[in-house]
A and B are shown apart, each in its own frame.
Chain A
């Protein structure tokens, strides 16, 4: 199904209906009449998109939709491709399927997701894969790959799953993590891993760590080899080099002001 954006607006469009689960079995006309909120006014999807049945199983949004929120919310399968930017809450609480974005995405992408994949070729906003305020856990399974940079609180309260940031992350990366793994190939912002209880942050540039992280061994962790090789098998061209697999990492544990069972691995390379 092809969705061609017809208007540009600064007013948010809440379009939870853009989901393979909801589109399934519906004609283009039926999809056009699905309800969305434009600010506080109820409209239809057809008011913002020209919808064409292109005979493909995937949903393609053929242009930037930076103010369209909740695309792919709670989706369980299928594929959404966005040719341009996407708005807030992309793939929030999704359970399966794939979302590809060629541009940037706004805050809360992949928030509280339970499975599936989000691939962002540009930058991502704040709270990527995070938990909504008041919620106990963020991302809980699934994979998010960001080719660019991310904002603050990447993976806040993350519980399971994997986030890969090929650029740099903002401040408070992995804050309050309960589990899961964050890879950052650029640099971490301030206070990474603050308040984390469990989970792993792997970084390839030396970060500035809080004093509540303590250094342990320098070694080549077998689990990291397994994870990196698994990521290398994905079609997402994550820049994993052999030296990342074979190299040494310095393990820090923290945040000892909390449980202290979180960890930050800093890539060291060869001895």
Chain B
């Protein structure tokens, strides 16, 4: 199958189960909300070393306090890990950010106490306020007001999480870095227009895809040599002679429909660049992930 002359490999991406939360950060203006959101999502590329995968979902004016807001999606392998990361990141990246407030913006079955733990920073001067119950919040939303030097930090007591998925991906293979990075940028731009998904790597793109195992016994994963053009004659390469660059788009999503939509939009956008030869995907033979996303089905 081809799109604009770009071959779509008959393969699949292998996504796996994660837990996801949506954190809404508001501030006096969008710039300050974004400052905090960028920091929250920082160093959140991969669960392998970062503890979570995080990214900015988008800006919004539909916020509980009527101020500009930015939604950040955070994913982790377990509910426990996610709760731990929410606590760390909201505590260090939102509470510290001038004028910010932080709200749960997702309905899910898992709950983590965040504001209810951060409140102790208030050194007994913290104050709880609770809205009346609603169908979404049968006990009423509870907030903590923590006095800080810039005024008050308002943080929701509990944040919720739902089962989500990570590791959706596709590889953009081309003749050189220029067309492949251009295609990657177009793909990420298309994906970032969607809700419920993030591309957590720098600029939404990862260049250092990995394979399971290594010649070194102390490593469980190492560079994906089959797609490394600089050693393609030294390994069992998946690249042809004219292919000199591969970049990967990794996607985390709150649900499978959003994941499929992101894969669809991203692949189609990537295939609009001349010099892109193939679209493939990373998988582990179906042994790692629960969700197999067949490229030919999503396009």
Contact = CB atoms under 8 A, between A and B. Distances in A.
Interface string A177-192: 0010100000000000
A219 B98 CA distance: 14
Nearest to A234: B132
A177 B140 CA distance: 20
A226 B129 CA distance: 10
A142 B132 contact: yes
Contacts of A229: 64-66
A222 B65 CA distance: 6
Interface string B61-96: 000111100000000000000000000000000000
Interface in B109-162: 125, 127-133, 140, 143, 145, 151-152, 154
A223 B129 contact: yes
A219 B151 contact: yes
Interface string A118-159: 000000000000000000000001110000000000000000
Contact of A230 (B67, B131, B145, B151): B131
B101 interface: yes
- Contact count band on A: 20 to 34
Contacts of B145: 221-223
A227 B151 contact: no
A115 interface: yes
A227 B129 contact: yes
A221 B145 CA distance: 9
A223 B152 contact: yes
Contacts of A222: 26, 65, 67, 101, 145, 151-152, 154
A225 B129 contact: no
A200 interface: yes
A115 B151 CA distance: 32
- Contact count band on B: 20 to 34
Mostly, the A contact residues are mixed
A223 B142 CA distance: 10
B151 A162 contact: no
B64 A230 contact: yes
A181 B140 CA distance: 14
A143 B132 contact: yes
Mostly, the B contact residues are strand
Contacts of A223: 129, 143, 145, 152, 154
Q: Which of A141, A221, A222, A261 has most B Cβ within 10 Å?
A: A222
Contacts of B127: 198, 261, 263
A7 B132 CA distance: 38
B151 A217 contact: yes
Given A217-B151, A221-B152, A141 B64 contact: no
B133 A115 contact: yes
Nearest to A96: B133
A200 B129 contact: yes
A1 B130 CA distance: 34
Nearest to A262: B127
A114 to B, nearest CB: 11
A156 to B, nearest CB: 19
B154 A141 contact: no
B67 A160 contact: no
B131 A227 contact: yes
Contacts of A162: 132
Interface in A12-50: none
B65 A226 contact: yes
A66 interface: no
A141 B131 CA distance: 8
A223 B157 CA distance: 13
Given A217-B151, A221-B152, A245-B66, A226 B143 contact: yes
Contacts of B151: 217, 219, 221-222
Contacts of B133: 115, 141
A119 to B, nearest CB: 13
A179 B129 CA distance: 8
Nearest to B124: A261
B101 to A, nearest CB: 5
Given A217-B151, A223-B154, A181 B129 contact: yes
Contacts of B129: 181, 200, 223, 226-227
Contact of B132 (A161, A226, A245): A161
9 contacts: A141-B130, A141-B132, A142-B132, A181-B129, A222-B65, A222-B101, A227-B129, A230-B64, A263-B127
The 7 closest A-B pairs by CB, nearest first: A225-B65, A222-B154, A222-B101, A226-B64, A226-B65, A223-B129, A219-B151
Given A200-B129, A225-B66, A225-B67, 16 more contacts: A115-B132, A115-B133, A141-B133, A142-B132, A161-B132, A222-B65, A222-B101, A222-B145, A222-B154, A223-B154, A226-B64, A226-B143, A227-B131, A229-B66, A230-B64, A263-B127
